[in-house]
């Protein structure tokens, strides 16, 4: 069973999974205990599994999850939760979807086309699908503030001692964090709470939210990061990952699973977001989608 664990703050499990035609699962904070870490209360970045298939991902999650009293935010559920069958009837599951976050984000047309095909698959397996998206206003500023604060805490001292060992983008992010005040962080956490409440209210009418994992198809390794999407300039080196980190701000479980390919044969993942702490439900609908498509069995083209 080829599988791995990893971390996801801005999409580091979901984006690579989407680009490589595999499964990556950003879990709820505390679902996979993190120890030892400098800040055991931190919940912007989380741990989770990556694997070829949803069932392998669930098995890997069972191996790394479970309560751990060394981690203050650890969840109490037993690992056995994820050893249950993933077979389920998705008839009537209420799914909201958007190919561009309700117009809030630019998304490449090729990516939107693949997501549209994936939404049709969900409809074909019995889901009740509606085009709708929560209001993510403020998510960008919240994420960038809390990420910068986290980077300053984690790397600040080392960058002072070994600046030559860090990329310029990381140094920039740390320096931004060092300029923040306590008020800045407090206001970001207040805004994050408001976003969570809006999205949680949205989920009163839906069971799942389906969105693109990435706003772009895989790009050449020689490009350090995406600088523009559909003519919209990306202001920082992480802006092209908003489709992942907007979900990070909510703290909800989100899985990236193979959905299809661009005309050039490059893989595109679909992102399925569940209600608070509902990892098993997310795995089950992802498994149903995977069984209906078998997209993971196709080896993608390599982009260099």
Cβ atoms < 10 Å from Cβ of 147: 21
Tens digits of residue pLDDT in 199-212: 999 999 999 999 99
How far is Cα 116 from Cα 109, in angstroms, rounded to an integer?
10
Residue in this structure with the two tokens 């931004």, named with its chain if needed: 176
Q: What is the pLDDT of residue 303?
A: 54
Tens digits of residue pLDDT in 45-66: 999 999 999 999 999 999 999 9
Q: What is the pLDDT of residue 94?
A: 98
Mean pLDDT of all residues in 121-148: 98
Q: What is the pLDDT of residue 300?
A: 80
Domains of the chain: 3-135+207-297 (3.90.1300.10)
pTM of this prediction?
0.96
Q: What is the mean pLDDT of the chain?
A: 96
Q: What is the pLDDT of residue 299?
A: 86
How many Cα atoms are found within 13 Å in the side-chain-facing hemisphere of 15? Answer: 23
Tens digits of residue pLDDT in 212-264: 999 999 999 899 999 999 999 999 999 999 999 999 999 999 999 999 999 99
The per-residue DSSP string of the chain comes to: --EEEEEESSSTTHHHHHHHTSEEEE--TTTS---S-S-TT--SSEEEEEESSHHHHHHHHHHH-S--TTSTT-----GGGGGS------TT-EEEE-SSTTTTS---HHHHHHHHHHHHHHHHTT-EEEE-----TTHHHHHHHHHHHHHHHHHHHHHHH-GGGS-HHHHHHHHHHHT--HHHHHHHHHHHHHHHHHHHHHTTS-SEEEEES-SS----TT-SS--EETTEEPSSTTGGGHHHHHHHHHT--EEEEEEEE-TTS-EEEEEEEESTT-HHHHHHHHHHHHHHH-GGGSPPPPP-
Place 24 in a pLDDT band, splitting at 50, 70 and 90.
very high
Q: What is the pLDDT of residue 304?
A: 52
Residue 175 has pLDDT above 90, yes or no: yes
How far is Cα 30 from Cα 133, in angstroms, rounded to an integer?
26
Q: What are the structure tokens assigned to 124, written together?
A: 């074909």
Place 156 in a pLDDT band, splitting at 50, 70 and 90.
confident
How far is Cα 219 from Cα 266, in angstroms, rounded to an integer?
9
Q: What are the structure tokens assigned to 106, written together?
A: 């630019």
192 backbone dihedrals φ, ψ, rounded to 5°: -60, -40
């Amino acid at each position: 069973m080829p599988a791995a664990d990893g971390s996801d703050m801005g999409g580091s499990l979901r984006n690579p999974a989407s680009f490589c035609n595999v499964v990556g699962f950003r879990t709820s904070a505390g679902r996979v205990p993190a120890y030892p870490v400098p800040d055991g209360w931190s919940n912007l970045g989380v741990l989770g599994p990556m694997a070829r298939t949803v069932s392998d991902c669930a098995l890997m999650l069972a191996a790394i999850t479970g309560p751990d009293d060394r981690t203050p935010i650890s969840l109490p559920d037993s690992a056995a939760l994820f050893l249950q069958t993933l077979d389920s009837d998705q008839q009537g599951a209420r799914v909201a979807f958007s190919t561009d976050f309700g117009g809030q984000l630019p998304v490449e047309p090729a990516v939107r086309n693949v997501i549209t095909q994936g939404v049709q698959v969900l409809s074909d397996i019995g889901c009740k699908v509606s085009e709708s998206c929560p209001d993510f206003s403020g998510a960008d500023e919240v994420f960038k503030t809390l990420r910068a604060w986290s980077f300053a805490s984690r790397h600040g001292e080392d960058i002072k001692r070994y600046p030559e060992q860090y990329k310029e983008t990381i140094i920039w992010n740390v320096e931004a964090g060092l300029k923040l005040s306590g008020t800045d962080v407090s206001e970001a956490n207040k805004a994050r709470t408001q976003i969570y409440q809006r999205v949680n209210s949205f989920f009163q009418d839906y069971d799942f939210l389906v969105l693109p994992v990435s706003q772009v198809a895989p790009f050449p390794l020689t490009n350090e990061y995406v600088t523009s999407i559909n003519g919209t300039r990306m202001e920082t080196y992480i802006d092209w990952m908003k489709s992942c980190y907007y979900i990070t701000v909510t703290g909800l479980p989100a899985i990236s699973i193979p959905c299809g390919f661009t005309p050039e044969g490059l893989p595109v993942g679909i992102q399925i977001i569940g209600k608070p702490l509902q990892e098993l439900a997310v795995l089950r609908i992802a498994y149903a989608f995977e069984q209906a498509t078998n997209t993971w069995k196709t080896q993608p083209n390599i982009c260099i």
